[in-house]
Amino acid sequence: MTTTLKTEIRLAGFGGQGIVLAGHILGKAASLYEHLNAVFTQSYGPEARGGACSADVILSGGEIYYPRVSCPQVLVLMSEEAKHTYGGLMANQAKVLIDEDLVKLDSVPEGSRLFKIPATRLAEKLGRKIVANIVMLGFITSVTEVVSYDSMKKSLFDSIPRGTEELNLKAFEKGFEYGKQIKKQESGVRIQHSE
């Protein structure tokens, strides 16, 4: 998605979930393969591993003058503690993506949209809970379209350890396909309402 508009994205979860890596892959996809300007910052609670952490990414076709996310248009929550620590502020009409098994959230402010995925459960079915962050990256790519599928896939392969490509690609595809199914269901619902 090439744009001159600024898009603020916050990914939040607990230390050890790969939140920072996910933010890094997203920023790299935008800057190297979409030719957007991107800024990436990270934040950890004092507990580090196990405590709430966030990865903030700002994307823009123009200059980025301030490196911090203040009001994310895309908010990704992968733990309950992260929801309490980082989930309070969001832009009007934000897209909120959650790991539905780890975050309890049934509604978002009016005008915003909530997308749920069992990211950790899908990762466990692939045999490695650790790739839940990559499942979520596929989901982000599908439902937000902030970067293209191809750009995210290239960035993913540039950022993961050698020998893990097959597992990570399966995880990414799982999340991407899950997002496509949700969008398909939503467009079906809209068609029914308009008749």
The amino acid at 15: G
Judged on CB neighbours under 10 Å (0-12, 13-18, 19+), 24 is middle
Query: Does residue 194 carry a pLDDT above 60?
Result: no
Q: Is the pLDDT of residue 115 over 90?
A: yes
d(CA 166, CA 162): 10
Could you tell me if 112 and 93 are in contact, meaning their C-beta atoms sit under 8 angstroms apart?
yes
What DSSP designation does 57 have?
E
Per-residue tokens: 39: 């800024």
Residue 100 near residue 120, CB atoms below 8 Å: no
| pLDDT for position 189 | 59
Residue 71 pLDDT more than 60?
yes
Q: Per-residue pLDDT averaged across 74-80, rounded?
A: 97
Please give the pLDDT value at position 50. Answer: 66
pLDDT averaged over the chain? 91
Over 80: is that where the pLDDT of 190 sits?
A: no
What is the arithmetic mean of pLDDT over 100-128?
96
| pLDDT at res. 46 | 58
105 with 98: CB under 8 angstroms?
yes
* Burial label, 149 (beta-carbon count in 10 A; 0-12, 13-18, 19+): middle
For the chain, the domains span 7-194
Q: What is the pTM of this model?
A: 0.90
If you average pLDDT over residues 4-24, what whole number do you get? 93
Just give the CATH number of 7-194.
3.40.920.10
pLDDT, average across residues 49-73: 91
CA distance 67 to 60: 12
Q: What is the pLDDT of residues 16-52, one digit of tens each?
A: 899 999 999 999 999 999 999 999 999 876 555 667 8
> Are 53 and 45 contacting, i.e. CB atoms less than 8 angstroms apart?
yes
The residue with greater pLDDT, 162 or 195, is: 162
pLDDT of residue 193 exceeding 60: no
What local confidence, expressed as pLDDT, does residue 43 receive? 86
* 3-class state of residue 131 by DSSP: helix
